[in-house]
Amino acid sequence: MIILMKAEATPEQIEAVCQAIRDQSLEPLVMPGQGSVAIGIPNSLDQRNRPQLDALLSAYDGVGRVMHVSRAYKLASREFQREPTVFTIKGATFGPGYFQIMGGPCSVESYDQYRLSADLVKSAGARILRGGAFKPRTSPYSFQGLQEEGLKIIKQVGDETGLVTITEVMSSEMVDAVAEHVDILQIGARSMQNFPLLIEAGRSQKPIFLKRGPSATIDEFLLAAEYVLNQGNKNVILCERGIVPLDRTYTRNTFDISAIPVLLENSHLPVMADPSHGTGVAKLVAPMAKASMIAGAHGVMIEMHPNPKAALSDGSQALTPERFAALAGELIELAKFLGIQT
């Protein structure tokens, strides 16, 4: 259950509602929003007690509306917010009616490699530049990213080209430093349940690109988004990026395309797809990117490297500049056909 307080509700009125909830041996969860405060009751409530509790709380001063949410996640749910969340970052809009292409290398490797990647991304018609400065690698002996130096390169190239920039932040301590250098904070698949990181990223009020954990259920994914939303940060983009596969012979992960419409049905947040990590195979990226648009995704994240064979990470799934440009062109055409803006 969620109690939406009126915009003008006073702290005393909010506390009175919280106390009334505690008096019922339940835990109130105060969720500050942009306009008004919502008070959630995360406990599962007995169906029979709901009407009584609804009537009791509706009578308190400052209460706007009492809502019943049947899902574990609340702020991320369609029940809580029927209207889709739509927001714009430097002219790039995320949400229904729009399709955003994020392109760039897995890792930032040098200024020259990144600046060239940015020019290629831009000339292909994409608006968003990806690239990791801090890399979550399975082996500690693999390239870990240029780290702080990488952040500076991203900032410089973003400023030079006007592209929207996104990079991964791996720890809560680094949120402020990363947020100073990029437009969107990426929370990687391996960090999806790093709760202190989700909270800190939420507090930063920067747009968050949240990737689904390889073993996460849809509910776990949306509960991770809930951590960010619960900090009053409403600019969250969900990203399906493949789940643990049954068979690694042909793909690195299993790209769960059905997650796209499932997320759209159950959440109001923008949904994107990453067919690069989703499949791990360059030749599978184009068909899965187009399928993502048809499935309703609001954009794709695609790895492209000026020279995939020389890439310091994820070369086997990176598109060449030519293949990236061809795919971006096809996606832009397909979007036009569907009446979607890019």
Contact of residue 108 among Mn ion, ligand PEP, none (CB under 5-8 Å per partner type): none
Minimum CB separation of residue 171 from Mn ion in Å reads 18
The contacts of residue 213 (CB under 8 Å, 6+ apart) are 189, 190, 192, 193, 220, 221, 224
- Whether 98 contacts 340, CB under 8 Å: yes
Closest to ligand PEP by CB, 105 vs 202, is 105
Minimum CB separation of residue 342 from ligand PEP in Å reads 21
Task: Count other Cβ atoms within 10 Å, centred on residue 87.
Answer: 14
136 sits near ligand PEP (criterion: CB under 6 A): yes
Minimum CB separation of residue 138 from Mn ion in Å reads 12
| The only residue of 314, 325, 328, 332 in contact with Mn ion, by rule CB under 5 A | 314
Minimum CB separation of residue 213 from ligand PEP in Å reads 9
- Whether 166 contacts 106, CB under 8 Å: no
Closest to ligand PEP by CB, 206 vs 241, is 241
Please choose, out of 49-57, 85-93, 98-106, 282-290, the segment that lies near Mn ion by the rule CB under 5 A: 98-106
Q: Give me 38's structure tokens.
A: 């919502």
DSSP structural state of residue 304: B
Contact of residue 268 among ligand PEP, Mn ion, none (CB under 5-8 Å per partner type): none
Minimum CB separation of residue 227 from Mn ion in Å reads 24
- Whether 121 contacts 105, CB under 8 Å: no
Closest to ligand PEP by CB, 1 vs 228, is 228
Contact of residue 95 among ligand PEP, Mn ion, none (CB under 5-8 Å per partner type): none
Q: Give me 235's structure tokens.
A: 């600019």
SS3 state at 250 = coil
325 sits near ligand PEP (criterion: CB under 6 A): no
**Residue of this chain nearest to Mn ion (CB atom):** 106
State the residue for tokens 């954990």: 213
DSSP assignment of 62-108 equals TEEEEE---SS--TTBTTT--SPP-EEETTEEESTTB-EEEEE-SB-
305 sits near ligand PEP (criterion: CB under 6 A): no
Calculate helix-pair angle for 259-266, 218-229, nearest 10 degrees.
Answer: 50
Please choose, out of 187-195, 200-208, 279-287, 329-337, the segment that lies near ligand PEP by the rule CB under 6 A: 187-195
Sign of the dihedral through C-alpha 326, 164, 340, 242: positive
| The only residue of 277, 292, 317, 324 in contact with ligand PEP, by rule CB under 6 A | 277
- Whether 80 contacts 2, CB under 8 Å: yes
| The only residue of 53, 75, 106, 210 in contact with Mn ion, by rule CB under 5 A | 106
| The only residue of 106, 151, 260, 300 in contact with ligand PEP, by rule CB under 6 A | 106
- Residue ranges binding Mn ion (CB under 5 A): 106, 314
- Residue ranges binding ligand PEP (CB under 6 A): 106, 132, 136, 188-190, 211, 241, 274, 277
